[in-house]
């Protein structure tokens, strides 16, 4: 099962949020997320398009491996997530193994559910406002996600394929 | 805080267990432990004397990093442990990061508490019977642990500094 995902930069989250509410989207909540990203001791994640993230949010800590992106438009990747008990211990084990923290992404995320879509409205420190749309799928269709974004008033030109990490580090394929 | 630790090979665990009971040790329980050990993607753990272990025991899963041994007699190391939610997800993340499972150590462990000492009686598949003694300490004294082993009827010549992993793989410093 893949997590099909697309992201777009927007000038204002409020307009998107109003459209979501008009269409009957269900508000799931707001969460502050602190994501530490790590460099691999001997693999260039920027080149392999992978990532390792340790997230603190709502009292939970999650370690997530992200594989390379699977198409040229969306940011669909294979992901493996693991709930862990302690941020400090996880960080220390990673550091002892040679993983180095390279960036910290802080954001406020407001989430909505609209049918099979999870819509996340992100205010990201140092980067600005973004809308992420996700759905679980066996197969993925980039165009379906582009069409859904469009129905929220977000054009294809706003699509941002780079991760927050890449944007912060000034990397990626644009 | 260090975990000061010594291990010895014994012919029979029953005699040690009887001595422990005579001295009023408290029985803590019995547990089957399955430990998967991983090789680092670009560091030779056999050379650096480190280890990365994923343990399943009593419904819990724990990831543990072990640093190199700190003296020539005991097996005292720095250890960092992390409770994780899923064995499968932890194993998958490690594998995606290039860590390779190199051995599986299965043992039945009966644990006793005697004062500040934790005494573990291990029946290890393919390896035999061992007694491990641990205490938490700011500083460590190998001779104190050797003396404690001796009080259980176990001589210095029985001390085994190699880990179960090293014994299984036929490695280590004897």
Cα(B28)–Cα(B117) distance, rounded to whole angstroms? 12
pLDDT value for A136? 84
Judge: B82–A84 Cβ closer than 8 Å, yes or no.
yes
Asked whether residue A113 is domain-assigned, the answer is yes
Name the burial class of residue B103, with classes exposed (0-12), middle (13-18) and buried (19+) by CB atoms within 10 angstroms of its CB: middle
Q: Is residue A50 part of a domain?
A: yes
Closest residue in chain A to residue B85, using alpha carbons only: A83
DSSP string for B112-161: EEETTEEEEEEEETTTEEEEEEEEEESS--HHHHHHHHHHTT--GGGB--
Q: Which domain holds residue A29?
A: 2-169
Give the pLDDT of residue A174.
Answer: 44
On whether residue B174 sits in a domain, the answer given is: no
**Within a 10 A sphere around the Cβ of B47, how many other Cβ atoms?**
9
CB-nearest partner of B96 from A80, A83, A86 = A80
* Minimal Cβ distance to B81: which of A41, A89, A97: A89
pLDDT of residue A173: 52
Any CB–CB contact under 8 A between B82 and chain A? yes
Average pLDDT over chain B, rounded to an integer: 92
pLDDT in tens, B40-72: 999 999 899 899 999 999 899 999 999 987 777
Q: How far apart are CA A97 and CA B65, in angstroms?
A: 8
Nearest to B164 by CA among B97, B107, B116: B107
**Cα–Cα distance between A95 and B49 in angstroms, integer?**
16
Is B131 inside a domain boundary?
Answer: yes
Residue B108 lies in a domain: yes
Q: Contact, B9 vs B129, CB < 8 A? A: yes
Collapsing DSSP states into helix, strand and coil, what is residue B103? strand
- pLDDT (tens digit per residue) in A82-109: 999 999 999 999 999 999 999 999 999 9
Q: Measure CB to CB from residue B41 to each of A42, A50, A90 and give the nearest one.
A: A42
Six-digit token string for A113: 């559910």
**CATH number of the domain within which A163 lies:** 2.40.320.10
Top residue of B60, B66, B97, B98 to mutate, by most chain A CBs within 10 Å, is B97
Residue B124 forms part of a structural domain:
yes
Is residue B106 classed as helix, strand or coil in its secondary structure? strand
Q: Measuring CA to CA, which residue among A61, A30, A63, A68 is closest to residue A166?
A: A68
A104 located within any domain:
yes
pLDDT digits (tens, 9 = 90+) for B102-154: 999 999 999 999 999 999 999 999 999 999 999 888 776 778 899 999 999 99
Across-strand partners of A142?
none
Count structural domains, chain A: 1
Whole-model pTM: value is 0.80
Cβ–Cβ contact B52 with A under 8 A: yes
Put simply, whether A95 touches B (Cβ < 8 Å) is no
B87 contacts chain A (CB < 8 A): no
pLDDT in tens, A25-66: 999 999 999 999 999 999 999 899 899 999 999 899 999 999
Within-domain flag for A174: no
Instruction: Copy the structure tokens of residue B26.
Output: 């408290």
In terms of DSSP bridges, do strands A128-137 and B2-10 run parallel, antiparallel, or are they unpaired? unpaired
- pLDDT-derived band at B174 (thresholds 50, 70, 90) equals very low
Nearest CA in chain A to B68: A96
Average pLDDT, chain A: 92
What are the C-alpha distances in Å from A16 to residues A129, B130, B131? 11, 64, 64
Here the tokens at position A121 are 């409205």
How far apart, in whole angstroms, are the C-alpha atoms of residue B98 and residue A50?
12
Instruction: Tell me which H or E stretch contains A55.
Output: strand A51-57
CA A154 to centroid of chain Cα atoms: 17
Paired tokens of A75: 């940011």
In whole angstroms, what is the distance from residue A59 CA to residue B7 CA?
A: 38
Q: Which helix (H) or strand (E) holds B6?
A: strand B2-10
Position A100 scores a pLDDT of 97
- Average pLDDT of the segment spanning B20-44: 97
Predicted interface score ipTM higher than 0.90: no
> For the segment A65-74, what is each residue's pLDDT rounded down to a tens digit?
999 877 777 6
B82 to A90: CB separation less than 8 angstroms, yes or no: yes
Would residue A87 show up in a list of annotated catalytic residues for this protein? no
A143-165: average pLDDT:
93
pLDDT score of B1: 67
Task: Measure CA of the first residue to CA of the last residue in chain B; give whole Å.
Answer: 27
3-state secondary structure of A90: helix
Band of pLDDT at residue A1, cut at 50, 70 and 90: low
Q: Give the number of beta-carbon pairs within 8 Å between A and B.
A: 66
DSSP H or E segment with residue A48: helix A45-48
CB-based contact A80 B65, cutoff 8 Å: no
């Amino acid at each position: 099962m893949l997590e099909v995902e697309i992201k777009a930069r927007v000038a204002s989250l409020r307009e998107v949020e109003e459209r979501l509410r008009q269409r009957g989207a269900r508000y799931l909540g707001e969460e502050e997320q602190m994501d530490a990203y790590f460099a691999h001791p001997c693999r260039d994640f920027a080149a392999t398009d992978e990532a390792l993230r340790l997230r603190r949010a709502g009292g939970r800590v999650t370690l997530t491996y992200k594989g390379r992106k699977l198409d040229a438009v969306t940011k669909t990747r294979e992901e493996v997530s693991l709930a862990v008990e302690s941020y400090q211990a996880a960080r220390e084990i990673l550091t002892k193994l040679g993983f180095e923290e390279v960036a910290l992404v802080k954001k406020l995320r407001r989430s909505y559910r609209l049918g099979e879509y999870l819509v996340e409205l992100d205010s990201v420190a140092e980067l600005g406002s973004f809308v992420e749309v996700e759905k679980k799928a066996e197969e993925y269709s980039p165009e379906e996600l582009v069409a859904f974004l469009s129905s929220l008033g977000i054009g294809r030109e706003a699509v941002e394929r780079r991760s927050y990490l890449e944007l912060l580090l000034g990397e990626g394929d644009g």
